[in-house]
Amino acid sequence: MASAQQTLSFSSIGPPVTPLLLPQARSPRFRADNSVSSYASVSGNRSRTCQRSSCKPHCPFSSFLRREGEESRGGTRRISTSLSPSGKLRTTISTPLRVQASLKPQLEEAAKQVVDYFVRSGMAVGLGTGLASSMAIRYMGEKLKDGSLREIVGVPMTSMSAVEAAKAGVPLATFQDYPQLDFAFDDADAVQEGTLFAIVGRKGVAGRESILKEKAIAKAAKQMVFIIEESKFVGQLKGAVPVLIEQEDWLDVAEEIDDLFLGDAEVWRRPSHGEAGPMGGDFPLVTAEGHFVLDVIFTTPIANAVEVAQSLEAISGVVTHGLVLDTAYAAAVASSTGVKIRTSLFKSAFTSME
């Protein structure tokens, strides 16, 4: 075992770290009087003045214009708007590189430590998605090749995990065949210290399976660990929480969510690519299961993630969300000083790392 590993104990949970950046601008609001046609003025008719007789202070088009040239940062995405010379409103969303190149070795070390400590021969293992999970999958493949691991079955959370496993030579099985797993690991977009409540799914791409399966597999594991870099280990969760919704009546659902978190969160429909707006631009993302994704971007820290999750789940049309609560036993956190293993306040502790 590597020397950087720590004994798992509650006292190993460190002090809060600096929270994520606050967004600088408000997004347009979803309100009851924002009919589909009024929203069409945002993504369709690009004239600069709202022509609706019913235009109100919270008219989405007006607020969109107010945001012209401003930038906001919601979780992992950078959102910027500008007017093109032809007067066309452009909104672009980009995802900055989130793993500092210098932390890659530590992240790889974290991935290896997780595999070394938790994965044993004969286990069914849930395989997560993201850079760290890919590293862990590759390391499992190496261990299978050199014989230090045997008879492992990997249950992939997404097709990306499956591809990594196939490349690494990790035998695959379906979740249907293995509904109960010995262990699972995954990346996350943010993990809260102490509770190890997490946010996943900020990086969804068009056509990819949604977080539905990812969450189900994480929950089905006897033990589950997130592998993350230090910047994702936060005192309080905030930024974007992905929410999967049915396509039917999606605008009503978006309005309801917007009303629910009025003043605390902005609601955007996720685009698949290209120009985006609060409506998801011309090409809203549709998951492989046929759902839209709303990014509910919390501009203030989430005081009670359980309450947020319950409120979202109570809304008809909401399929699931990116909050993963009471699931992880530990987080392997990669930092410039090495790898720290943090355990959940809510899960029974291991006594040692071997």
**Which sequence positions are flagged as catalytic?**
214
Rounded least distance, CB 48 to ligand 5RP, Å: 36
What's the longest Cα–Cα distance across the chain? 73
First to last CA, the chain: 8
Least distance from ligand 5RP to the Cβ atom of residue 143, Å: 22
Task: Provide the H-helix boundaries in 246-313.
Answer: 250-260, 305-313
208 near ligand 5RP (CB under 6 A) = no
Q: Where are the beta strands (DSSP E) in 134-255?
A: 153-156, 181-186, 190-192, 198-199, 221-229, 233-234, 239-245
Give the residue with the Cβ less far from ligand 5RP, 81 or 129: 129
Hey, what amino acid is at 6?
Q
For ligand 5RP, the binding residue among 109, 189, 209, 266 (CB under 6 A) is 189
Among residues 115, 132, 191, 309, the one that binds ligand 5RP under rule CB under 6 A: 132
Q: 318 near 244, Cβ under 8 Å?
A: yes
- Scanning 117-125, 126-134, 165-173, 270-278 for contacts with ligand 5RP by CB under 6 A, the matching segment is 126-134
User: Rounded to an integer, what distance in angstroms lies between the CA atom of residue 39 and that of residue 135?
Assistant: 43
Q: How far is the CB of 99 from ligand 5RP (least distance, A)?
A: 6
The distance of closest approach from Cβ of residue 298 to ligand 5RP in the complex, given in angstroms and rounded to an integer, is 16
User: CA 24, CA 47: separation in Å to the nearest integer?
Assistant: 25
Q: How far apart are CA 276 and CA 151, in angstroms?
A: 46
Site string for ligand 5RP, 268-307 (x = CB under 6 A): ----------------------------------------
Show contacts with ligand 5RP in window 149-188 (CB under 6 A): 186-188
Provide the binding-site residues for ligand 5RP, judged by CB under 6 A: 98, 128-132, 186-189, 200-203, 214
